[in-house]
Amino acid sequence: MNTKNNNHADSALAIKGEYIELYKLLKAANLASSGGEAKYFIAEGQVRVNGAIESRKRKKISVGDRVAFNGQTIDVIRSKDD
């Protein structure tokens, strides 16, 4: 039985600027060890953005987006330094 509350992310990633590209987010969140690995996971349909499978490696991820991969969910928030 899955007791995990799907309304809350496992973690948050603060970004500076307007967006971060999806493959860079996976690297920044330590979900992929390299950009190539991140791009592979995305191309294989293993990454979801706001609940939908995303295949664009350079998809612009903005504040308020939610990324899910490999059982982890990350909410994108604005950096306090921005």
Domains plus CATH for the chain? 11-78 (3.10.290.10)
Angle 79-23-55 from CA coordinates, rounded to 5°:
125
SS3 81: coil
Tell me what pLDDT residue 2 has. 38
Give me the pLDDT at residue 43, please: 98
**Alpha helix locations (H) across 1-82?**
22-28, 35-43
What pTM, to 2 d.p., does this model score? Answer: 0.86
**Tens-digit pLDDT profile for the chain (82 aa)?**
333 445 677 899 999 999 999 999 999 999 999 999 999 999 999 999 999 999 999 999 999 999 999 999 999 999 987 5
For residue 34, give both structure tokens.
């390299």
